[in-house]
Amino acid sequence: MASNVPKSPNLTMVSIRNSGSDVIERTLGKEIAKESTQNLEEVYEVSRCVKWIQDRGYRKVGLQFPDELIVDAPAVARAISTALGFSVYILGDTTYGSCCVDEVAAEHVGADSILHFGRSCLSPSRRLPVLYIFTRLTVNVPLVSESLQAAIQETDARLVLVYDTRCHHAAEEVARALQEKFPMLVPSVLLLDRLYSPSSLCSYENHTNTNGTDINGKEEESSDFVFCSRSVCLPAGEEIKNYHFIYLGPSGPTVTCMCMKFSESTFYCVDPGSGEVTVTSGLRSVMSRSSKLELVKDAEIIGILVGTLGVADYREVISRLKAIIRAVGKRSYTFVVGKPNEPKLANIAEVDVFVYVACPETSIVERSVDPVLYKKLVTPWELEVALLSQQEWNLHFEADFRQLLPGGSRHVAEAGEKREEEVNVSLITNKAQRLGMREEEDPVLDSITGAVQVRDDLTLASLHIGGGGQALKGRTWQGLDPSVPPPAIMGTVVEGRKGIAASYQDEAATDSQE
């Protein structure tokens, strides 16, 4: 779309009188294509990567890069391969979000370990051991400290310092500089210890850090508070709700996720390079999403959209969602489509709303970024709030689906039990909403099952009322018919016309004569 093309002197817009050939033949300039990093050792920690691989004896290592760092992938892979004496593999386009470990791509080459570069959501993986190399954003510590001191007037303010993982290298220095002005500032730390241990990633319950704090956010005997794969040690008797936050890093899904989790707190977001401070909060975003609860209640068919195959316990939460949807008399279908977009979801028009099972940072789609997906996707927590009377809505938005499972801070034990029928009026459509089932009613099916019948020499399952099979039967086009014979094979391959539709090469002479 022309409105989304960045303005640049090297970009030529296509006019009505232009054939468009200049756009097709255009190459990216240096100001658009990112230049490669010069100091690979400092940014990508090549020596640390090599030592980690050698100490553990890995032989097939996958290197995962986000799109913005893919230009450095060949140089980094070459440096690591030279030091190891064998080749490593560069993983291509990530299956889902680049912040998550892409075990699907790694399994295509049979990798036994993964090096993850760039920003990370720190979601625990399921199978493969992972080494996180966050890379480094330039942090101007004096400018950051000066800007924050000018933006925050109260020297006795209760503050928590959180940061993008790519600012991890400078977080301690920034914390020391800020504590001179704000003595009550408390720095957060990344929970790196449990990320590097594969044995600790496969289990969900009974995990504690060195201070005895449960990783699910429950405060035990110590005063540590754990959130978003980070930990902060609060003074005795203090609660996190009494604190505001300083976020060091660029705007993006990390700070969005935190703002919505602590929507009643103020966030002072500071750019690590320019020092520009933006004051924001997630209260408006959380309140605006309350309308999604009505969408879930109105829906008859709910799609479970799988947005990860690597984050631990994604299978468990999918099973839980199916049980919840079945217990309230609705139907669910599970879809795996990779990265969701409007054309993919438009192919499943019968689904009223999708519950998106993904990492905390990927599952939140902002209205300003993608208004279409914003209307169609809800998080697992929002679905539970809409369908379970025990799950209460509050301003502490929960994007981590693992918190809904046993041992999590938002777990509801009676999630799969059959719910008695309740009829309400929708606040969106003004139509009757039905949640639950009558006592004599059987639970609905979430897939095409039932008796088998023979029709037109084909063995088919009986269609249940309102199911996906009946919806497919009602479509005017149901896909290719296998009973129709394929077209005849062409014997000779003929070279076609060249050029674009507005001006083929063999039409140039005719156009000039006119």
DSSP class per residue in 124-146: PBSSS-EEEE-------HHHHHH
Distance CA 178, CA 158 (A): 12
Distance CA 31, CA 11 (A): 11
CB atoms within 10 A of CB 293: 18
Among 89-98, 102-111, 418-427, 459-468, which stretch is predicted with the lowest mean pLDDT? 459-468
Angle value at C-alpha 472, between 471 and 478, nearest 5 degrees: 155
Percent above pLDDT 70 for the chain: 77
pLDDT tens sequence across 42-89: 999 999 999 999 999 999 999 999 988 999 999 999 999 999 999 999
DSSP H or E segment with residue 86:
none
Which one-letter DSSP state was computed for residue 349? T
Average pLDDT in the chain? 80
- The segment(s) of the chain belonging to CATH 3.40.50.11860 are 287-435
- The segment(s) of the chain belonging to CATH 3.40.50.11850 are 141-281
Distance CA 258, CA 164 (A): 11
Q: Retrieve residue 51's tokens.
A: 């030592």
Provide the sign of the torsion angle of the four alpha carbons 390, 396, 399, 402, taken in this order: negative
Q: Confidence band (pLDDT; 50, 70, 90) for 22?
A: low
- Tell me the C-alpha to C-alpha distance, in Å, between residue 278 and each of 147, 260, 464: 10, 16, 54
Q: Retrieve residue 376's tokens.
A: 């169609």
Percent above pLDDT 90 for the chain: 48
Q: Is the pLDDT of residue 202 over 60?
A: no
Spatial contact of 73 and 63, defined as CB atoms under 8 Å apart: yes
The reported pLDDT for the residue numbered 213 is 37
Could you confirm whether domain 141-281 is CATH 3.40.50.11850? yes
Distance CA 20, CA 13 (A): 9
CATH fold of 40-133:
Rossmann fold (3.40.50)
Q: Is the pLDDT of residue 196 over 50?
A: no
Which residues does 152 contact at the CB level (< 8 Å), separation at least 6? 159, 182, 268
Distance CA 294, CA 429 (A): 9
The reported pLDDT for the residue numbered 212 is 37
Q: Confidence band (pLDDT; 50, 70, 90) for 439?
A: low
Q: What is the DSSP string of 200-212?
A: HHS--SS-B-TT-
Q: Is the pLDDT of residue 481 over 90?
A: no
How much is the average pLDDT of 486-504? Answer: 80
Spatial contact of 200 and 191, defined as CB atoms under 8 Å apart: no
Q: Are β-strands 185-190 and 230-233 bridged in parallel, bridged antiparallel, or unpaired?
A: antiparallel
Q: Confidence band (pLDDT; 50, 70, 90) for 112?
A: very high
Among 335-349, 362-376, 430-444, which stretch is predicted with the lowest mean pLDDT? 430-444
Q: Is the pLDDT of residue 179 over 60?
A: yes
Domain boundaries 287-435, corresponding CATH code = 3.40.50.11860
Distance CA 291, CA 29 (A): 44
Global pTM exceeds 0.85: no
Q: Is the pLDDT of residue 198 over 60?
A: no
